[in-house]
């Protein structure tokens, strides 16, 4: 369906407003000017963004910040990323992070709650839409998860 990207990203932030306030995490939303409406599966992508936002909040300390951005890649794909200033992920764990039930450092993760399914579900949804999901992280500095999706701008062909 046709999705208003500014509205979609603002809505994600709204759904987490309570948790964001509780941890005093600030969020900046950046939607590339001119990139307004895209033909994507709003429900599926909402689920992906909720998983990514939930992680960004869970693994960021009080007073941190998150940037949610949407832009068009050179190849004409839609790129949506969630960048946080959180605890980051050790290099040795990066390769496994999308596996079902995989969680970094069980002691660290147990206290946070969760099952270790969020990213595997996100990847499944993204792949089902013909897209890709990638992660970049620096321990004690932060993490960026980027989702790239084939898309058509309004009025164009459906991918
Ligand atoms: P669930 O999503 O099922 O509630 P979860 O958040 O532990 O549980 P995933 O979302 O799949 O599971 O993430 C897997 C692991 O990757 C997490 O346990 C955490 O260790 C690490 N991780 C994910 N996102 C981040 C992030 N933004 N910053 C730091 N670590 C992260
Ligand atoms: Mg999660």
| Residue 107 confidence (pLDDT) | 63
| Residue 112 confidence (pLDDT) | 79
95 contact partners, CB below 8 Å, separation of at least 6 = none
Could you tell which of 116, 125, 145 is best to mutate to test the pocket of ligand 1, judged by most ligand atoms within 8 Å of the CB?
116
CA-nearest of 143, 40, 12 to 83 is: 143
Q: How far is the CA of 19 from the centre of ligand 2 (A)?
A: 14
| Residue 130 confidence (pLDDT) | 95
Question: Can you read off the two tokens belonging to residue 78?
Answer: 């839609």
Ligand 1 atom closest to Cα of residue 117: 3
| Residue 159 confidence (pLDDT) | 53
Measure the CA–CA gap between 140 and 89, rounded to whole angstroms.
8
45 CB-contact burial (10 Å; exposed 0-12 / middle 13-18 / buried 19+): buried
Q: Which residues line ligand 1 (CB under 6 A)?
A: 51, 55-56, 58-59, 84, 86-89, 97, 102-104, 109, 114-120, 143
Over its length of 159 residues, how does the chain's per-residue pLDDT go in tens digits?
789 999 999 999 999 999 999 999 999 999 999 888 888 999 999 999 999 999 999 999 999 999 999 999 989 899 999 999 999 999 999 999 999 999 998 767 677 788 899 999 999 999 999 999 999 999 999 999 999 999 765 455 555
| Residue 77 confidence (pLDDT) | 94
ipTM surpassing 0.85: yes
Q: How far is the CA of 80 from the centre of ligand 2 (A)?
A: 17
Order the strands of the 78-84 sheet from edge to edge: 26-31, 65-72, 78-84, 142-149, 132-138
- Tell me which ligand sits closest to the C-alpha of residue 56: 1
| Residue 139 confidence (pLDDT) | 95
- Tell me which ligand sits closest to the C-alpha of residue 123: 1
| Residue 36 confidence (pLDDT) | 85
Measure the CA–CA gap between 150 and 156, rounded to whole angstroms.
12
Could you tell which of 19, 55, 56, 122 is best to mutate to test the pocket of ligand 1, judged by most ligand atoms within 8 Å of the CB?
55
């Amino acid at each position: 369906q046709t999705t208003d990207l500014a509205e979609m990203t603002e809505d994600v932030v709204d759904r987490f407003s309570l948790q964001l306030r509780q941890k005093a995490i600030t969020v900046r939303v950046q939607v590339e000017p001119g990139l307004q409406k895209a033909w994507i599966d709003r429900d599926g992508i909402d689920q992906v963004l909720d998983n990514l936002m939930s992680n960004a909040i869970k693994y960021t300390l009080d007073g941190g910040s998150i940037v949610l951005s949407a832009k068009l890649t050179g190849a004409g794909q839609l790129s949506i990323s969630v960048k946080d200033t959180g605890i980051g992920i050790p290099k040795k764990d990066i390769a496994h992070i999308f596996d079902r039930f995989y969680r970094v450092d069980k002691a660290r993760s147990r206290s946070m709650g969760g099952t270790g399914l969020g990213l595997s579900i996100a990847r499944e949804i993204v792949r089902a839409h013909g897209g890709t999901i990638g992660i970049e992280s620096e321990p004690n500095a932060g993490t960026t998860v980027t989702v790239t999706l084939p898309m058509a701008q309004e009025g164009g062909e459906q991918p």
